Structure 1
Amino acid sequence: MSNDTTAATRVLDGVELPAEGTWKVDPGHAEVGFVGRHFLLTKVRGRFTGVDATVRIGARPEDSSVTAVLDMSSVDSGDRTRDDHLRSDDFFDVARYPTATFVSTSVAWDGTTGTLTGELTIKDVRRPVTLAVDYLGYARDPWENDRIVFSAKGRINREDWGLGWNMILDSGGLLVSKEIELVLEIEAIREG
Protein backbone atom coordinates (compact mmCIF):
# COMPACT_ATOMS: atom_id res chain seq x y z
CA MET A 1 0.00 0.00 0.00
CA SER A 2 1.04 3.60 -0.39
CA ASN A 3 2.26 5.83 2.43
CA ASP A 4 -0.65 8.31 2.20
CA THR A 5 -2.63 9.22 5.32
CA THR A 6 -5.56 6.92 4.43
CA ALA A 7 -3.48 3.75 4.00
CA ALA A 8 -3.73 1.22 6.79
CA THR A 9 -0.12 0.15 6.40
CA ARG A 10 3.16 1.74 5.40
CA VAL A 11 6.59 0.53 4.40
CA LEU A 12 9.47 1.36 6.74
CA ASP A 13 12.97 0.08 5.95
CA GLY A 14 11.48 -2.34 3.43
CA VAL A 15 8.96 -3.84 5.89
CA GLU A 16 5.19 -3.36 5.79
CA LEU A 17 3.98 -2.15 9.19
CA PRO A 18 0.74 -0.60 10.51
CA ALA A 19 0.05 3.03 9.71
CA GLU A 20 0.44 5.64 12.40
CA GLY A 21 -2.71 6.09 14.43
CA THR A 22 -4.98 4.58 17.06
CA TRP A 23 -6.05 0.94 16.88
CA LYS A 24 -8.62 -0.49 19.31
CA VAL A 25 -8.21 -4.11 20.39
CA ASP A 26 -11.20 -6.23 19.38
CA PRO A 27 -12.11 -8.17 22.57
CA GLY A 28 -13.87 -10.84 20.50
CA HIS A 29 -10.58 -11.53 18.74
CA ALA A 30 -8.18 -11.07 21.63
CA GLU A 31 -6.63 -13.94 23.51
CA VAL A 32 -5.03 -12.59 26.70
CA GLY A 33 -3.90 -15.84 28.22
CA PHE A 34 -1.65 -17.39 30.80
CA VAL A 35 -0.11 -20.80 31.32
CA GLY A 36 0.91 -22.22 34.68
CA ARG A 37 1.76 -25.71 35.85
CA HIS A 38 -0.23 -27.92 38.23
CA PHE A 39 1.97 -30.26 40.31
CA LEU A 40 4.71 -28.45 38.34
CA LEU A 41 3.94 -30.91 35.53
CA THR A 42 0.60 -30.35 33.81
CA LYS A 43 0.06 -27.15 31.86
CA VAL A 44 -3.05 -25.28 32.95
CA ARG A 45 -4.23 -22.55 30.59
CA GLY A 46 -6.49 -19.62 31.27
CA ARG A 47 -7.52 -16.37 29.71
CA PHE A 48 -9.31 -13.12 30.37
CA THR A 49 -12.30 -12.43 28.14
CA GLY A 50 -12.88 -8.88 29.43
CA VAL A 51 -10.23 -6.86 27.58
CA ASP A 52 -10.25 -3.12 26.88
CA ALA A 53 -7.02 -2.12 25.14
CA THR A 54 -5.68 0.46 22.72
CA VAL A 55 -2.57 0.35 20.54
CA ARG A 56 -1.18 3.70 19.39
CA ILE A 57 1.22 3.34 16.49
CA GLY A 58 3.77 6.14 16.38
CA ALA A 59 5.44 7.77 13.39
CA ARG A 60 8.48 5.75 14.45
CA PRO A 61 7.62 2.22 15.66
CA GLU A 62 9.53 2.86 18.91
CA ASP A 63 7.15 5.75 19.63
CA SER A 64 4.19 3.34 19.79
CA SER A 65 2.33 2.52 23.01
CA VAL A 66 -0.22 0.13 24.49
CA THR A 67 -2.70 0.57 27.32
CA ALA A 68 -4.93 -2.23 28.56
CA VAL A 69 -7.48 -2.91 31.28
CA LEU A 70 -8.45 -6.48 32.15
CA ASP A 71 -11.68 -7.42 33.90
CA MET A 72 -10.25 -9.89 36.42
CA SER A 73 -13.65 -11.49 37.02
CA SER A 74 -13.60 -12.63 33.37
CA VAL A 75 -10.89 -15.22 34.05
CA ASP A 76 -11.70 -18.50 32.30
CA SER A 77 -9.57 -21.61 32.69
CA GLY A 78 -12.23 -24.09 31.64
CA ASP A 79 -12.99 -25.19 35.21
CA ARG A 80 -15.55 -23.28 37.27
CA THR A 81 -14.12 -24.34 40.66
CA ARG A 82 -10.61 -23.24 39.66
CA ASP A 83 -11.95 -19.96 38.21
CA ASP A 84 -13.81 -19.21 41.44
CA HIS A 85 -10.59 -19.89 43.36
CA LEU A 86 -8.65 -17.56 41.03
CA ARG A 87 -11.25 -14.81 41.68
CA SER A 88 -10.99 -15.30 45.47
CA ASP A 89 -8.67 -13.40 47.81
CA ASP A 90 -6.18 -16.30 47.53
CA PHE A 91 -5.36 -14.97 44.06
CA PHE A 92 -6.91 -11.99 42.21
CA ASP A 93 -9.32 -10.86 44.96
CA VAL A 94 -11.72 -9.43 42.37
CA ALA A 95 -14.07 -8.10 45.05
CA ARG A 96 -11.36 -5.57 46.04
CA TYR A 97 -9.37 -5.39 42.79
CA PRO A 98 -11.77 -5.83 39.86
CA THR A 99 -9.27 -4.81 37.17
CA ALA A 100 -5.63 -5.20 36.23
CA THR A 101 -3.84 -2.72 33.97
CA PHE A 102 -0.90 -2.66 31.61
CA VAL A 103 0.70 0.59 30.43
CA SER A 104 3.68 0.40 28.10
CA THR A 105 6.82 2.34 28.94
CA SER A 106 9.03 1.52 25.93
CA VAL A 107 9.02 -0.23 22.59
CA ALA A 108 12.01 -1.57 20.68
CA TRP A 109 11.37 -2.65 17.11
CA ASP A 110 13.31 -4.46 14.34
CA GLY A 111 11.38 -5.39 11.21
CA THR A 112 8.26 -7.28 12.29
CA THR A 113 9.51 -8.23 15.77
CA GLY A 114 10.12 -6.25 18.90
CA THR A 115 9.91 -5.97 22.63
CA LEU A 116 7.23 -4.17 24.57
CA THR A 117 8.06 -3.18 28.13
CA GLY A 118 5.48 -1.82 30.50
CA GLU A 119 4.02 -1.73 33.97
CA LEU A 120 1.55 -4.48 34.88
CA THR A 121 -0.62 -3.69 37.89
CA ILE A 122 -2.45 -6.51 39.67
CA LYS A 123 -3.97 -6.02 43.14
CA ASP A 124 -2.45 -2.50 43.29
CA VAL A 125 1.05 -3.97 42.84
CA ARG A 126 2.86 -2.51 39.84
CA ARG A 127 5.82 -4.35 38.34
CA PRO A 128 7.67 -4.18 35.02
CA VAL A 129 6.96 -6.79 32.34
CA THR A 130 8.67 -7.30 29.00
CA LEU A 131 6.91 -9.07 26.13
CA ALA A 132 8.42 -10.39 22.90
CA VAL A 133 6.10 -9.18 20.14
CA ASP A 134 5.55 -10.32 16.56
CA TYR A 135 3.57 -8.25 14.07
CA LEU A 136 1.73 -10.88 12.02
CA GLY A 137 0.15 -8.62 9.44
CA TYR A 138 -2.80 -6.63 8.21
CA ALA A 139 -6.23 -7.63 6.91
CA ARG A 140 -9.39 -5.83 5.83
CA ASP A 141 -12.45 -7.59 7.19
CA PRO A 142 -15.76 -8.06 5.29
CA TRP A 143 -17.20 -4.96 7.07
CA GLU A 144 -14.42 -2.70 5.71
CA ASN A 145 -12.52 -2.49 9.00
CA ASP A 146 -8.72 -2.34 8.87
CA ARG A 147 -7.23 -4.88 11.28
CA ILE A 148 -3.69 -5.52 12.50
CA VAL A 149 -2.62 -8.69 14.25
CA PHE A 150 0.05 -9.19 16.92
CA SER A 151 1.30 -12.12 18.96
CA ALA A 152 3.23 -11.65 22.21
CA LYS A 153 4.81 -13.78 24.95
CA GLY A 154 6.50 -13.19 28.27
CA ARG A 155 7.16 -14.77 31.66
CA ILE A 156 6.43 -13.50 35.14
CA ASN A 157 6.71 -14.74 38.71
CA ARG A 158 3.15 -14.46 40.04
CA GLU A 159 4.43 -13.96 43.59
CA ASP A 160 5.84 -10.57 42.51
CA TRP A 161 2.19 -9.38 42.42
CA GLY A 162 1.19 -10.94 45.74
CA LEU A 163 -0.35 -14.01 44.11
CA GLY A 164 1.41 -16.34 46.50
CA TRP A 165 -1.20 -18.96 47.40
CA ASN A 166 0.21 -22.48 47.10
CA MET A 167 0.41 -25.88 48.76
CA ILE A 168 3.51 -27.94 49.45
CA LEU A 169 3.15 -31.49 48.20
CA ASP A 170 4.22 -34.56 50.16
CA SER A 171 6.96 -35.01 47.55
CA GLY A 172 8.29 -31.55 48.46
CA GLY A 173 7.17 -29.78 45.29
CA LEU A 174 4.52 -27.09 44.91
CA LEU A 175 0.95 -27.53 43.72
CA VAL A 176 1.00 -24.42 41.48
CA SER A 177 4.02 -23.05 39.62
CA LYS A 178 5.34 -19.62 40.54
CA GLU A 179 6.38 -18.92 36.95
CA ILE A 180 3.54 -18.01 34.61
CA GLU A 181 3.81 -17.66 30.86
CA LEU A 182 1.82 -14.82 29.30
CA VAL A 183 0.47 -15.56 25.82
CA LEU A 184 -1.34 -12.92 23.75
CA GLU A 185 -2.97 -13.06 20.33
CA ILE A 186 -4.43 -9.66 19.47
CA GLU A 187 -6.46 -8.16 16.62
CA ALA A 188 -6.89 -4.41 16.65
CA ILE A 189 -9.22 -2.28 14.50
CA ARG A 190 -8.16 1.10 13.15
CA GLU A 191 -10.10 3.99 14.63
CA GLY A 192 -11.22 7.07 12.74
Structure 2
Amino acid sequence: MTGSVMPTRRLGDVELPAAGTWKIDPGHAEVGFVGRHFMLTKVRGRFTGVDGAVEVAENPADSKVSVTIDMASVNSGDQARDDHLRSADFFDVDGNPTAAFTSTEVRWEGSGGSMTGDLTIKGVTRPVTLSIDYLGYAQDPWDNHRAVFSARSRINREDWGLTWNMPLAKGGLLVSREIDLEFEVELIYAG
Protein backbone atom coordinates (compact mmCIF):
# COMPACT_ATOMS: atom_id res chain seq x y z
CA MET A 1 0.00 0.00 0.00
CA THR A 2 2.86 2.37 -0.64
CA GLY A 3 2.89 5.16 -3.15
CA SER A 4 0.51 8.10 -3.23
CA VAL A 5 -1.96 6.72 -0.67
CA MET A 6 -2.84 9.27 2.00
CA PRO A 7 -4.04 7.04 4.85
CA THR A 8 -5.31 9.88 7.00
CA ARG A 9 -6.91 13.27 6.59
CA ARG A 10 -7.64 16.24 8.77
CA LEU A 11 -11.17 17.26 9.63
CA GLY A 12 -10.93 20.38 11.71
CA ASP A 13 -8.40 19.73 14.46
CA VAL A 14 -8.65 15.94 14.24
CA GLU A 15 -6.76 13.40 12.16
CA LEU A 16 -9.08 10.64 10.89
CA PRO A 17 -8.74 7.69 8.49
CA ALA A 18 -8.96 8.52 4.79
CA ALA A 19 -12.20 7.82 2.98
CA GLY A 20 -12.33 4.38 1.43
CA THR A 21 -12.63 0.73 2.36
CA TRP A 22 -10.87 -0.44 5.52
CA LYS A 23 -10.97 -4.20 6.15
CA ILE A 24 -10.90 -5.72 9.63
CA ASP A 25 -7.65 -7.56 10.32
CA PRO A 26 -8.98 -10.80 11.88
CA GLY A 27 -5.65 -11.39 13.62
CA HIS A 28 -5.97 -8.08 15.44
CA ALA A 29 -9.67 -7.88 16.22
CA GLU A 30 -11.85 -9.18 18.98
CA VAL A 31 -15.29 -8.75 20.42
CA GLY A 32 -15.19 -9.02 24.18
CA PHE A 33 -17.95 -9.40 26.72
CA VAL A 34 -18.20 -9.00 30.48
CA GLY A 35 -20.98 -10.45 32.60
CA ARG A 36 -21.39 -11.23 36.26
CA HIS A 37 -21.48 -14.65 37.92
CA PHE A 38 -23.50 -14.90 41.16
CA MET A 39 -24.23 -11.21 40.46
CA LEU A 40 -20.77 -10.45 41.90
CA THR A 41 -17.78 -11.79 39.99
CA LYS A 42 -16.91 -10.36 36.57
CA VAL A 43 -16.52 -13.05 33.94
CA ARG A 44 -14.75 -12.00 30.76
CA GLY A 45 -14.81 -13.66 27.39
CA ARG A 46 -14.06 -12.87 23.81
CA PHE A 47 -14.69 -13.91 20.26
CA THR A 48 -11.52 -14.04 18.20
CA GLY A 49 -13.19 -14.91 14.89
CA VAL A 50 -14.10 -11.39 13.77
CA ASP A 51 -14.26 -10.25 10.14
CA GLY A 52 -15.78 -7.36 8.19
CA ALA A 53 -15.16 -3.93 6.77
CA VAL A 54 -15.69 -0.24 7.33
CA GLU A 55 -16.59 2.05 4.45
CA VAL A 56 -15.22 5.37 5.66
CA ALA A 57 -17.10 8.18 3.93
CA GLU A 58 -15.91 11.73 3.22
CA ASN A 59 -18.44 12.81 5.84
CA PRO A 60 -17.76 10.40 8.77
CA ALA A 61 -21.49 10.35 9.58
CA ASP A 62 -22.10 8.61 6.23
CA SER A 63 -19.69 5.74 7.03
CA LYS A 64 -20.92 2.12 7.06
CA VAL A 65 -19.75 -0.86 9.12
CA SER A 66 -20.40 -4.57 8.71
CA VAL A 67 -18.99 -7.17 11.10
CA THR A 68 -19.37 -10.96 11.25
CA ILE A 69 -18.52 -12.89 14.42
CA ASP A 70 -17.70 -16.61 14.48
CA MET A 71 -19.63 -17.72 17.57
CA ALA A 72 -17.60 -20.94 17.90
CA SER A 73 -14.52 -18.77 18.55
CA VAL A 74 -15.80 -17.86 22.04
CA ASN A 75 -13.11 -18.11 24.72
CA SER A 76 -13.72 -17.29 28.37
CA GLY A 77 -10.73 -19.17 29.75
CA ASP A 78 -12.79 -22.17 30.89
CA GLN A 79 -13.52 -25.04 28.48
CA ALA A 80 -16.68 -26.20 30.28
CA ARG A 81 -18.11 -22.66 30.28
CA ASP A 82 -17.18 -22.19 26.61
CA ASP A 83 -18.89 -25.47 25.68
CA HIS A 84 -22.00 -24.31 27.57
CA LEU A 85 -21.92 -20.94 25.79
CA ARG A 86 -21.76 -22.75 22.42
CA SER A 87 -24.76 -24.96 23.34
CA ALA A 88 -28.44 -24.31 22.64
CA ASP A 89 -28.74 -22.82 26.16
CA PHE A 90 -26.85 -19.77 24.89
CA PHE A 91 -25.46 -19.21 21.36
CA ASP A 92 -26.64 -22.45 19.67
CA VAL A 93 -23.53 -22.46 17.49
CA ASP A 94 -24.71 -25.51 15.52
CA GLY A 95 -27.84 -23.66 14.35
CA ASN A 96 -26.43 -20.11 14.43
CA PRO A 97 -22.71 -20.22 13.64
CA THR A 98 -22.32 -16.45 13.23
CA ALA A 99 -23.52 -13.21 14.73
CA ALA A 100 -23.48 -9.93 12.80
CA PHE A 101 -23.50 -6.18 13.27
CA THR A 102 -24.50 -3.80 10.47
CA SER A 103 -24.51 -0.05 11.09
CA THR A 104 -27.59 2.04 10.38
CA GLU A 105 -26.54 5.46 11.74
CA VAL A 106 -23.25 7.14 12.69
CA ARG A 107 -22.87 10.28 14.77
CA TRP A 108 -19.36 11.68 14.80
CA GLU A 109 -17.66 14.52 16.66
CA GLY A 110 -13.90 14.93 16.88
CA SER A 111 -12.22 11.55 17.29
CA GLY A 112 -15.25 9.69 18.61
CA GLY A 113 -18.94 9.28 18.38
CA SER A 114 -21.68 6.72 18.41
CA MET A 115 -22.92 4.15 15.97
CA THR A 116 -26.33 2.52 15.95
CA GLY A 117 -26.81 -0.70 14.09
CA ASP A 118 -28.53 -4.04 13.90
CA LEU A 119 -26.97 -6.75 16.05
CA THR A 120 -28.03 -10.29 15.16
CA ILE A 121 -27.38 -13.07 17.66
CA LYS A 122 -29.00 -16.50 17.55
CA GLY A 123 -31.29 -15.38 14.72
CA VAL A 124 -32.65 -12.36 16.62
CA THR A 125 -31.92 -8.86 15.29
CA ARG A 126 -32.20 -5.83 17.54
CA PRO A 127 -30.75 -2.30 17.48
CA VAL A 128 -27.66 -1.48 19.54
CA THR A 129 -25.82 1.80 20.00
CA LEU A 130 -22.05 1.66 20.42
CA SER A 131 -19.83 4.40 21.79
CA ILE A 132 -16.81 4.63 19.45
CA ASP A 133 -13.27 5.99 19.79
CA TYR A 134 -10.75 6.34 16.99
CA LEU A 135 -7.43 5.50 18.65
CA GLY A 136 -5.11 6.37 15.81
CA TYR A 137 -3.18 5.38 12.73
CA ALA A 138 -0.05 3.28 12.22
CA GLN A 139 1.90 2.01 9.23
CA ASP A 140 3.07 -1.54 9.85
CA PRO A 141 6.47 -2.98 8.76
CA TRP A 142 4.82 -4.43 5.59
CA ASP A 143 3.57 -1.00 4.44
CA ASN A 144 -0.07 -1.60 5.37
CA HIS A 145 -1.98 1.42 6.61
CA ARG A 146 -3.89 0.63 9.82
CA ALA A 147 -6.61 2.49 11.68
CA VAL A 148 -7.48 1.39 15.22
CA PHE A 149 -10.93 1.70 16.79
CA SER A 150 -12.50 0.77 20.10
CA ALA A 151 -16.25 0.54 20.77
CA ARG A 152 -18.47 -0.47 23.67
CA SER A 153 -22.07 -0.91 24.70
CA ARG A 154 -24.20 -2.55 27.38
CA ILE A 155 -26.97 -4.90 26.34
CA ASN A 156 -29.57 -7.09 28.00
CA ARG A 157 -28.76 -10.56 26.65
CA GLU A 158 -32.36 -11.69 27.08
CA ASP A 159 -33.35 -9.30 24.27
CA TRP A 160 -31.61 -11.79 21.93
CA GLY A 161 -33.23 -14.89 23.43
CA LEU A 162 -30.20 -15.69 25.61
CA THR A 163 -32.38 -16.43 28.63
CA TRP A 164 -30.74 -19.44 30.30
CA ASN A 165 -30.22 -18.79 34.00
CA MET A 166 -30.59 -20.25 37.49
CA PRO A 167 -32.11 -18.44 40.47
CA LEU A 168 -29.96 -18.15 43.59
CA ALA A 169 -31.23 -19.31 46.99
CA LYS A 170 -31.04 -15.82 48.52
CA GLY A 171 -32.31 -13.98 45.45
CA GLY A 172 -30.68 -12.88 42.26
CA LEU A 173 -29.51 -14.92 39.30
CA LEU A 174 -26.47 -17.05 38.50
CA VAL A 175 -25.67 -15.09 35.31
CA SER A 176 -26.30 -11.37 34.89
CA ARG A 177 -28.75 -10.20 32.26
CA GLU A 178 -26.66 -7.12 31.48
CA ILE A 179 -23.57 -7.75 29.40
CA ASP A 180 -20.90 -5.21 28.48
CA LEU A 181 -19.67 -5.54 24.88
CA GLU A 182 -16.19 -4.34 23.91
CA PHE A 183 -14.95 -4.18 20.31
CA GLU A 184 -11.24 -3.74 19.59
CA VAL A 185 -10.32 -3.68 15.90
CA GLU A 186 -7.43 -2.87 13.63
CA LEU A 187 -8.47 -1.98 10.09
CA ILE A 188 -6.24 -2.24 7.03
CA TYR A 189 -6.73 0.25 4.20
CA ALA A 190 -7.95 -1.56 1.07
CA GLY A 191 -8.65 1.42 -1.16
User: Shorter-chain TM-score category?
Assistant: over 0.9
Q: Deviations over 1:38-88 (max 9, x none)?
A: 001100011111111111100100011110111111101010000000000
Write the distance in 2 (CA, Å) between the matches of 1:180 and 1:53.
23
Structure 1 gap ranges (5+): none
Write the distance in 1 (CA, Å) between the matches of 2:184 and 2:88.
28
Write the distance in 2 (CA, Å) between the matches of 1:173 and 1:61.
43
Match of 2:142 in 1: 143
Q: How do 1:170-181 and structure 2 match up within 5 A?
A: 170-181=169-180
Write the distance in 2 (CA, Å) between the matches of 1:33 and 1:57.
23
Residue identity in the other structure for 1:24: K
Alpha-carbon distance, 1:103 to partner = 0.3
Match of 2:93 in 1: 94
TM-score (norm 2): 0.97
Match of 1:77 in 2: 76
Deviation >6 Å, runs of 4+ = none
Percent of residue pairs bearing the same amino acid type: 66
Alpha-carbon distance, 1:6 to partner = 2.0
TM-score (norm 1): 0.96
Q: How do 1:27-42 and structure 2 match up within 5 A?
A: 27-42=26-41
Match of 2:166 in 1: 167
Write the distance in 2 (CA, Å) between the matches of 1:74 and 1:104.
22
Aligned length: 188
Match of 1:24 in 2: 23
Compute the RMSD of aligned alpha carbons.
Answer: 0.8
Any idea what SS the aligned residue of 2:172 has? coil
Match of 2:7 in 1: 8
Structure 2 gap ranges (5+): none
Write the distance in 1 (CA, Å) between the matches of 2:53 and 2:42.
30
Alpha-carbon distance, 1:7 to partner = 0.3
Residue identity in the other structure for 1:113: G
